[in-house]
A = this chain, B = another copy of it.
Amino acid sequence: MTPPKTDPAPDGALATDLGWAIRLVSTAFAGVAADSVADLPGGARGYLVLVALATGEPPSQLALARQVSLDRTVMTYLLDDLEAHELISRRPDPRDRRARQVLITESGRERLAQVRKSLAAAENRLLVDLSAGEADQLRTLLSRVAQTAHRESLGPTEDC
Interface centre among A51, A127, A149 (most CB of B within 10 A): A149
A135–B159 Cα distance when bound, in Å, is 24
Q: A11-B67, A67-B11 are in contact. Are A155 and B33 (CB under 8 A)?
A: no
Quick one: which of A125-154 are within 8 Å of B by CB?
Answer: 126-130, 134, 137-139, 141-151, 153-154
- Collect the chain B residues with CB atoms within 8 Å of residue A148's CB: 126, 128-129
A12–B30 Cα distance when bound, in Å, is 22
Q: A145-B129, A154-B126, A155-B30 are in contact. Are A51 and B20 (CB under 8 A)?
A: yes
A119 at the interface (CB under 8 A from B): yes
- Give the contacting residue for A19; candidates B24, B56, B119, B138; CB below 8 A: B119
- Collect the chain B residues with CB atoms within 8 Å of residue A69's CB: 23-24, 27
- Collect the chain B residues with CB atoms within 8 Å of residue A56's CB: 12
- Collect the chain B residues with CB atoms within 8 Å of residue A68's CB: 14
- Collect the chain B residues with CB atoms within 8 Å of residue A28's CB: 145-146, 149-150, 154-155
Determine whether the beta carbon of A149 is less than 8 Å from that of B66. Answer: no
- Collect the chain B residues with CB atoms within 8 Å of residue A26's CB: 22-23, 26, 160
Interface residues of A (CB under 8 A from B): 1-2, 4-5, 7, 10-33, 44, 47-48, 51-52, 54-56, 66-69, 119, 123, 126-130, 134, 137-139, 141-151, 153-160
10 residue pairs bridging A and B, Cβ less than 8 Å apart: A12-B56, A13-B52, A14-B51, A22-B142, A31-B154, A31-B155, A126-B154, A129-B144, A130-B145, A138-B138
